[in-house]
């Protein structure tokens, strides 16, 4: 399989972890006889410094031609006081919109070795395995341009959704649920907000098409509570942009593995942008100690969702899991009695696992 991948390292540790993902993908390409080509472009604060904009035209053009995009992270204190159009986050919002990446998938899976680092009691969090499907290109983030009125003393932000926008995200969530445990929680605020009422109606209509999926409706406030009191209740959660932003941050810390969490942002045709859930960690950038696992696991999601290479995706995930089980870990992970390693060594261990475990080696060498 031939694929062209655009790398957007962005800011802070984004630069380091993206190299790790590239090394892993090169190993996968070699083992499975694929041909992956890579091209690097700028986004975020780095792009502001180089080109005076968080999302240069060249970046948009390159990503439009790509089969998939890997993004490190954007942001940092250096740009915190910039005016809003010159903030690194604008680059991220701009590329989501430019590529129509409306479906944001954020899986939260616990690693046994890390559960003790959860803020919840281990017996409550053990067994949690959920997927948040967040609408990413509509809602309050992208309403009519926000405006100040009354000499700056009043403000208007617009929350708008069309039937089409809701239907397509709900469809993605039903499809995700049917290959998992078949349980979908649709989260809204239908007791107050009009867009949530339409959302609920559409989920009700859609469920006839997915008889294999059980659906419940839940309000966003009580869902925030239940994520803490009973996280194993959930399988797939689908919700609008802002609710999804908040709930996915909440969910990301449940399993004590923030540094391990990947995400995917997909277009209708499954082209996608893949990024770790963690940020740019400017305090540790450039030190060679960043945890590359979330970025590497994001590249596994790319193999699965955009390239439909399930075996390859599983091998990457298994490699990360097995290296963690061996006790090797970066400084952000609290693994008792393990061996502390840096970004390069962690990556090498994962690459080595892929190279030694892949059975294609044996098929070629043993049956010649
Ligand atoms: C995220 C981030 C972004 C968002 C910010 C950086 C604009 O928090 O990916 O969740 O709110 O969508
Ligand atoms: Mn967020």
- Residue 337 pLDDT: 82
Nearest Cα residue to atom 11 of ligand 1: 245
**Pairing assessment for the beta strands 236-239 and 183-188 based on DSSP bridges:** parallel
Sign of the CA dihedral running 171, 172, 177, 180:
positive
Cα 114 from Cα 144, distance rounded (Å): 43
Q: Which domain holds residue 182?
A: 129-253
Same domain, yes or no, for 17 and 83?
yes
pTM of the model: 0.94
DSSP-based helix, strand, coil % in the chain, nearest 5: 50, 20, 30
141 is catalytic: yes
Residue 368 has pLDDT above 50, yes or no: no
Domain-terminating residue out of 192, 219, 253 = 253
CATH number of the domain within which 350 lies: 3.40.718.10
Is the same domain home to 247 and 142? yes
What is the average pLDDT score of the chain?
95
pLDDT for 257? 87
Instruction: Please indicate, yes or no, whether residues 171 and 275 belong to a single structural domain of this protein.
Output: no
pLDDT at position 267 is 97
The answer as to whether 121 is a domain residue is no
In a domain, residue 123? The reply is no
Structural contact between residues 228 and 84, judged by C-beta atoms closer than 8 angstroms = no
Q: What is the pLDDT of residues 215-255, one digit of tens each?
A: 999 999 999 999 999 999 999 999 999 999 999 999 999 99
* Residue 220 belongs to some domain of the structure: yes
Whole-number Å distance between alpha carbons of 275 and 70: 6
Active site residue 188: no
Same domain, 7 and 93: yes
| Residue where a domain stops, chosen among 253, 275, 303 | 253
Which domain-ending residue is among 231, 253, 275?
A: 253
- Residue 108 falls inside a structural domain: no
Query: Which pLDDT band holds residue 360 (cuts at 50, 70, 90)?
Result: low
Q: Are residues 246 and 269 part of one domain? A: no
- Same domain? For 199 and 314 the reply is no
pLDDT tens-digit series, residues 334-357: 888 899 999 999 999 999 999 999
354 CA to centre of ligand 2 in angstroms: 32
Q: Is 245 in the pocket of ligand 1 (CB under 6 A)?
A: yes
Residue 176 falls within a domain, yes or no?
yes
Query: What is the rounded distance in angstroms from the CA atom of residue 247 to the CA atom of residue 300?
Result: 23
Q: Is 189 assigned a catalytic role?
A: yes
Where does the pLDDT of residue 57 fall: very low under 50, low under 70, confident under 90, or very high at 90 and above? very high
Model confidence at 359: pLDDT above 90: no
Mutate which of 14, 79, 89, 273 for ligand 1? The one with the most ligand atoms within 8 Å of its CB, which is 89
Same domain, 249 and 268: no
pLDDT above 60: residue 321: yes
Number of domains in the chain: 2
Residue of the CA atom closest to atom 1 of ligand 1: 245
What is the dihedral sign for C-alpha 312, 317, 322, 327?
positive
Q: Quick one: pLDDT at residue 361?
A: 52
């Amino acid at each position: 399989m031939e694929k062209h991948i655009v790398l957007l390292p962005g800011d802070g540790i984004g630069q380091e972890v993206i190299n790790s993902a590239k090394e892993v993908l090169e190993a996968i390409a070699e083992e499975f006889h694929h041909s992956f080509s890579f091209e690097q472009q700028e986004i975020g604060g780095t792009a502001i410094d180089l080109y005076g904009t968080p999302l240069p035209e060249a970046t948009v053009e390159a990503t439009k031609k790509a089969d998939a995009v890997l993004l490190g992270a954007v942001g940092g204190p250096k740009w915190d006081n910039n005016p809003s159009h010159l903030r690194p986050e604008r680059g991220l919002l701009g590329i989501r919109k430019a590529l129509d990446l409306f479906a944001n998938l954020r899986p939260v899976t616990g690693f046994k070795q890390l559960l003790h680092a959860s803020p919840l009691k281990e017996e409550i969090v053990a067994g949690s395995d959920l997927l948040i499907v967040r609408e990413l290109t509509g809602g309050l983030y992208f309403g009519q341009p926000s405006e100040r009125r009354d000499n700056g003393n009043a403000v208007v932000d617009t929350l708008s959704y069309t039937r089409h926008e809701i239907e397509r995200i709900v469809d993605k969530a039903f499809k995700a649920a049917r290959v998992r445990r078949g349980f979908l929680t649709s989260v809204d605020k239908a007791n107050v907000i009009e867009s949530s009422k339409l959302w609920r109606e559409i989920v009700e209509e859609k469920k006839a098409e997915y008889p294999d999926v059980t659906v419940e409706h839940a309000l966003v406030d009580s869902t925030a509570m239940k994520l803490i009191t009973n996280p194993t209740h959930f399988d797939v959660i689908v919700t609008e942009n802002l609710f999804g932003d908040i709930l996915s941050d909440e969910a990301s810390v449940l399993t004590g593995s923030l540094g391990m969490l990947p995400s995917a942002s997909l277009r209708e045709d499954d082209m996608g942008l893949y990024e770790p859930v963690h940020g740019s960690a400017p305090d540790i950038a450039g030190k060679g100690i960043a945890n590359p696992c979330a970025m590497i696991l994001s590249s596994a999601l790319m193999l699965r969702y955009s390239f439909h290479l399930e075996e390859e995706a599983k091998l990457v995930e298994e490699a990360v899991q097995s290296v963690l089980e061996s006790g090797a870990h970066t400084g952000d992970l609290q693994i008792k009695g393990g061996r502390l390693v840096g970004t390069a060594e962690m990556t090498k261990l994962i690459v080595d696992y892929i190279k030694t475990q892949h059975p294609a080696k044996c098929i070629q060498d043993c049956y010649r």
